[in-house]
Amino acid sequence: MPSIDEDIKIGPREAPKKPQAETVRNLTKDRTLLVAQLTAEAPFEPEIVTDLKTIDDIFKRFMPETSVEFKGEDGQSQTEVVKFTSLGGFGPKGIMKQSEFLKSVQQEIDLVDDLIRQLRSNSALQKVLENPDTKEAFLNALGAMIDELPE
């Protein structure tokens, strides 16, 4: 007499009982998996959130933000809170939009870059700097103008 296998369920249909394992699939190339701590502090009790369907839903739910400390040239610390409302907020432009400190640093960088570009394209200045005598006279004149600037 054949034995009844315990792994087979008897009923209108016979189907083998197999242990159910979680399947792992590779993400398609048009998908991105985001795993990150989106809040500064862990919750008192972990919770499973299942109704979030889009990245926007995740940002609205968790409202991620962080405090960032900046040090200026003078050594003074300045703390700013940066809030993230989209993935673009994590990039340099997104963070810079929210930070007055970074905006001022970027303005200084842009000013120096513009000045360098203008000096490199100024042929008269290049001729002055090629000759050591005219270069020294030019630097002395610049020093005198700097001394005249109000503080």
| Cβ-count burial 53-62 (b if 16+ within 10 Å, e if not) | eeeeebbeee
- In this predicted model, what pLDDT tens digit does every residue of 93-135 receive, in sequence order? 888 999 999 999 999 999 999 988 988 899 888 888 889 999 9
Per-residue model confidence as pLDDT tens digits over 62-97: 888 888 888 988 889 999 999 988 888 888 888 899
Domain regions of the chain by residue span: 26-99
H/E stretch holding 120 = helix 100-120
pLDDT tens sequence across 8-59: 555 555 556 666 665 667 777 776 666 666 667 777 777 788 888 888 888 8
